[in-house]
Structure 1
Amino acid sequence: MAVRASDVSRLPGQRVEPTPEPQTPPGRKMVSWFDPTVLAKSGMKALLSGTFGRQADRRLLDAVSRPQPLCFDYSVDDTGHPRDELWLDYVSDLGDGWDSTYAVASAVMAPELELTDESGRTHVTRGGDVLVFGGDEVYPTASVDEYQARTVVPYEDALNKRRHRPHLFAVPGNHDWYDGLVSFTRLFCQGRRSNGWRTQQQRSYFALRLPHGWWLLGTDMQLESDLDAPQVEFFQKVAAQMRGTDRIILCNAEPAWVKQQVMPRAGRGFLDHNIDFLEQKVLGKKVSVFLAGDLHHYRRHENADGRQKIIAGGGGAFLHPTHLPKVDQSPGGFVQKASYPPQRASQWLAWRNLLFTALNPWFGVFMGVVYTLLGWGIAANLNEGAVGAPSFREVINAGVQSTGSLVLGAGVVLGTFAFADGRRGPLWKKTAGIVHGLVHLAVALLLTWGVSAVAAPLAAELQWSLRRDFLSGLLLFGGGALIGPLVVGVYLLLSLNVFSCHPNEAFSSLSIPDWKNFLRLHFDEDGQLTVYPVGFRRVPRRWKRGRSPEDPVWIPDPTDTRATPPRLIEPPIVIHRTKALPMLEETGPPGPTDMMVDKHPPGGAV
């Protein structure tokens, strides 16, 4: 039985009962992205952060006021002796719902984690001495309260007293920038400690020197994917410390190698070459491993040299689809080797949009109001002197004569046009947006027709003293709340599975907490890097308190039999110790394969 500090202070002779420990986790539910209030707040934050971010870039201020070491050296231990090995965990896109975020955190913070691959082989891994957050550390928008509830508390409770606190480094994503990076800086860049980690960095970008010539670099591309001048200068100085044989792991908040594939018609602006510029002109050598989040799933690309481009954005946020067809082959010869969930499963998950109304009840309320405003004036005109059920032609005529309905109808079409995805070009955006809006108007007219036919006899049967207009409004609201979101769900389903559009909207509407992932990296005594991609098919939904400090504060409830333990998404990816690949001149001949990759580590268990 725990006693709070506030229970100790009492008047002499006053007996205070101790406050019992909570029996349910204190976390929050998954963000409901189609909740109108969430949409409004997130949109306003994004607008303000974009406006002020262009005028006052916090990175420029921190570069002057917050000096930090050129690199944090983990190639040696606390006594100054070279490290034989190092374990490092990479988690991206976290800080959303409790179940998903805490399930990942509990595995990350475990002293040891036994992982089984698809062949049944078991691999014993160790909790990382270093923890890297790869971007978007909180949802929906950054604030001290949201970070505390959605990120800090889950990791503190997951660690408890099971092992030492890891050193934490964080890469900011666009959601971290929604308050101008203020909360991110306070939490991760001021040397603050929590019961879950110890922070080290002073700026929003950093460099880690790792054992056996490995380096990990974390960048900050701000909201416009911009690599600012002080950051370029910083990484130039870091590159000057590297030997010719050193290899680089580059952590970026967004996967630039996929962005241009899913939006091929957008073209490439000069800011889209930031990663190429950093690799070719600043670092002067090819990056061995690219790590990124932003897309909330696991996907790995590999080229003939064995260089890896890995998306691991499964730290807790809603799931993103993996079945977009235009990202299997990336520029530069990088071919997709694995995805989680599999593309077939992702395609089936999109059908959950047919449950859009049940999954997004507050959006249903919003659509109920819209349909009521669209049809109420029409129904009122039809109710005046009506004897029987009106014809559909009469409903259309009444709609044309209702100025309010016409104005609101035009607003609906403009809204759906603005909502439409433009990745297939302006013509598709215009067509899809207008058709979507016209379907809503047609459904609203049909609903109004049915309501007008039902309202009069129903009001008479119930002997209501109120006018039929009131009953018509109630029926319009109920019908719109049920049917309006279904129209949106069907639109998103067709857009994604047929036209490869709206991947973000079609899956954010589902708020799927499952199919989570993180990466565990092991730098061994031979200088080779082993990447363990850890997946969670179904996270627990019920929790109970742990029994001892050696347990996390919350453990899965055994009655939740559908929950699955973490396991390997694919066999470990092993990058053997070889020399790094130098950058070649654009006109130079292709170089030999200098990097070897093996998905099965020697000896089985690690």
Structure 2
Amino acid sequence: MSPTGPSRRSAANAGWDCRRLGEFRQLGPLPRRFSWLRPGALLASRNDWLARWFGDPTDEMRQEWLRRLAGLLDAVQPAPKVDLADRIVDRFAGRDRISIALLGDPGEGDASQYAVVPVLLAVAGDTDLAVVCSDVIYPAGGIRAYADRFYRPYADYPGPIYGVPGNHDWYDGLTGFMTTFCDVPPDAGAPLPGGRGARAALRRLLWRRPPTATVAEVADMRWYRDAESQLGVQPGPYCAIDAGPVRLVLIDTGISGRIDADQGAWLRRVSTSSPKPKILLTGKPIYSYASLQRCPIVDEAGVVIGDINEIVTDPACNYIAAIGGDDHNYQRYPIRLHDGRTILYVVSGGGGAYLSATHQIPNVDALAPACREESFRCYPLRGDSLAHFSRRYDRLLGFGSGRLVISPDDATTLMAERIGITPPRTGTPPEQISRRARRAARRVYPLPTRGAPAAHNLMSVFLDSDRPPMFKSFLRVDASSTEIVISCWAATGCLEHEREPVLEDRMRAWPDASGRWCWTSETPGRPVP
């Protein structure tokens, strides 16, 4: 299969000239478009607010899950082998080469999730395993929701799928995740938050109890993925996978984007116990929107005792990449460290959830000299993001009048002017952009597209789109002892891009004479994002 060039080559490659909707709708009956404006979705997600107001109990709940799992794992999973002491899956350890599909934030269960599936099967259907990285199920986990948001869409993916929980997966106490990925019986029941005092008592009173499912109902869901090659069980919400020449390290950052001291000690241990190059997979990105996002390690009292990035950047741990979900787009930052090493930090959250804007990513030269704008990439391109959101806001604020709509060519030029970069593809000459388009850009650009949960949730029904271009994406990782390639594939929702998928970005690494891994961009098209 010959891939289509990236969106920086033409607006058509971004999906703006879509001639026919893709065939993804034939994969099964799709529910109506997911919306955060439905009262049920907001109510089901209330544990997020309770954790922020009254304290996040996920650390103690996770520890209880692990205590339960220790007594169950030997009985439910004689194979593949799992090292219980360090939670290491060694099913793939003997491989000379490995290929991995990575999906971030997929679980809305509507057309925007299913649109990814045909491209995934076309370009990553031969991978050895897949990992869902963050927010497997929206809005709030739930065992029954896995039927149409996990088992059905990935029924034809032939390999095992592992998972990294996101904050939304914790809103049912992690029950659905533990049942699906760790083979915990569905009637086990989630641990309840503990604690003393009035605040803890009020949190327990208001805390959402997870929806239940019977063993028979779970068996019916698993019918979609019951081939022997598809079966895989992981030893907890955080674990390591010895994937041939690389080690994947999956961490659980709970609701608040942190890990406890026990998980921190485990992370340090599995990161130093093997000389293999490592890739961190996390529910929260470490670099996003041209900024370092802290992910603290805390003790039992909640006092910060470290940070995940301290482990990632430690030479003794040999990390070459850190990939996180949560922001629903694609961003890559090759960060050069003081000792001369480069670690690739990636946001990969485009697996199906509503789009997080990229046009509000500032000029990445703000990170210089660690990373510069010329080595940064994002999908959608900033101009395509501005054009996309201008249409959503025109519906909301302009009542469909067209006054706020900005064309992709105009938006390409306007964004390049705004943040001071060379346009990633040919746009409208500046002198030909109308006054109306410039006024629209001034109005649309500062409007909320991410950030505060309230704004995020309120706008999602308007900002999400089940029509092309959808700007979804996922990663394929191919690794051997001599090179590691990370490719970003786009899913626009267009039939032509199901048949000839868009290769949006590619990075390749190889070890130099000293053993350090060196990254280089192989993105087709122009060199500027």
The normalised TM-score by structure 1 is 0.56
Describe the shift of the 1:327–1:249 C-alpha distance in structure 2 as closer, same or farther (beyond 3 A).
Answer: farther
For 2:264 and 2:125, how far apart are their aligned partners in 1? 34
Give the aligned residue type for 1:567. V
Q: What secondary structure, in the 3-state scheme, does the structure 2 residue paired with 1:88 have?
A: strand
Q: What secondary structure, in the 3-state scheme, does the structure 1 residue paired with 2:332 have?
A: strand
Runs of 5+ in structure 1 lacking a partner?
1-21, 77-81, 114-124, 160-164, 361-488, 541-559, 582-593, 602-606
Partner of 1:86: 98
Greater helix share, structure number? 1
Indicate yes or no: 2:508 matched with 1:574: yes
**Pairing 1:445-594 to 2, within 5 Å after superposition:** 493=444, 495-496=446-447, 506=459, 509-513=462-466, 514-524=470-480, 526-536=481-491, 538-539=492-493, 565-570=500-505, 572-578=506-512, 594=516
For 1:493 and 1:294, how far apart are their aligned partners in 2? 23
Tell me the number of residue pairs that the alignment of Structure 1 and Structure 2 aligns: 386
Partner of 1:139: 138
For 2:388 and 2:240, how far apart are their aligned partners in 1? 39
Runs of 5+ in structure 2 lacking a partner?
1-24, 71-81, 185-218, 295-301, 401-439, 524-529
For 2:399 and 2:121, how far apart are their aligned partners in 1? 32
For 1:144 and 1:52, how far apart are their aligned partners in 2? 25
Shift of 1:148: 1.7
**Pairing 1:49-448 to 2, within 5 Å after superposition:** 53-54=56-57, 57-67=60-70, 69=83, 70=86, 71-76=88-93, 82-110=94-122, 113=123, 127-156=126-155, 158-159=156-157, 165-190=158-183, 195-196=224-225, 197-212=230-245, 214-243=246-275, 246-258=276-288, 261=291, 274-279=307-312, 284-304=316-336, 305-326=341-362, 328=364, 329-330=366-367, 333-336=370-373, 337-351=376-390, 352-356=392-396
Percent of aligned pairs with the same amino acid: 22
Structure 1 runs of 4+ off > 6 angstroms?
357-360, 489-492, 497-501, 560-564
The answer on whether the counterparts of 2:238 and 2:251 sit within 8 Å (CA) in structure 1 is yes
Q: What secondary structure, in the 3-state scheme, does the structure 2 residue paired with 1:64 have?
A: helix
For 1:492 and 1:138, how far apart are their aligned partners in 2? 34
The structure number with the bigger radius of gyration is: 1
The answer on whether the counterparts of 2:112 and 2:465 sit within 8 Å (CA) in structure 1 is no
Partner of 2:187: none
The normalised TM-score by structure 2 is 0.64
Describe the shift of the 1:202–1:75 C-alpha distance in structure 2 as closer, same or farther (beyond 3 A).
Answer: closer
Shift of 1:219: 0.4
Partner of 2:4: none
Instruction: State the structure with bigger RCO (CA 8 A, min sep 6), 1 or 2.
Output: 2
For 1:223 and 1:499, how far apart are their aligned partners in 2? 17
For 2:316 and 2:30, how far apart are their aligned partners in 1? 45
Partner of 1:389: none
Shift of 1:83: 2.1
For 2:493 and 2:331, how far apart are their aligned partners in 1? 19
Q: What secondary structure, in the 3-state scheme, does the structure 2 residue paired with 1:223 have?
A: coil
The answer on whether the counterparts of 2:109 and 2:148 sit within 8 Å (CA) in structure 1 is no
Give the aligned residue type for 2:484. L
Shift of 1:231: 1.4
Shift of 1:345: 1.1
Q: What secondary structure, in the 3-state scheme, does the structure 2 residue paired with 1:596 have?
A: strand
Give the aligned residue type for 1:103. A
Deviations 1:1-48 (A, max 9, x none): xxxxxxxxxxxxxxxxxxxxx988322233112334433443x34335
The answer on whether the counterparts of 1:204 and 1:219 sit within 8 Å (CA) in structure 2 is yes
Describe the shift of the 1:294–1:103 C-alpha distance in structure 2 as closer, same or farther (beyond 3 A).
Answer: same
Q: What secondary structure, in the 3-state scheme, does the structure 2 residue paired with 1:319 have?
A: coil
For 2:249 and 2:478, how far apart are their aligned partners in 1? 16
Partner of 2:297: none
Query: In terms of mean alpha carbon deviation, does 58-67 or 132-141 score higher?
Result: 58-67
The answer on whether the counterparts of 1:211 and 1:527 sit within 8 Å (CA) in structure 2 is no
Shift of 1:562: 9.1
The answer on whether the counterparts of 2:286 and 2:292 sit within 8 Å (CA) in structure 1 is no
Query: In terms of mean alpha carbon deviation, does 22-31 or 308-317 score higher?
Result: 22-31
Describe the shift of the 1:492–1:580 C-alpha distance in structure 2 as closer, same or farther (beyond 3 A).
Answer: farther
Give the aligned residue type for 2:238. Y
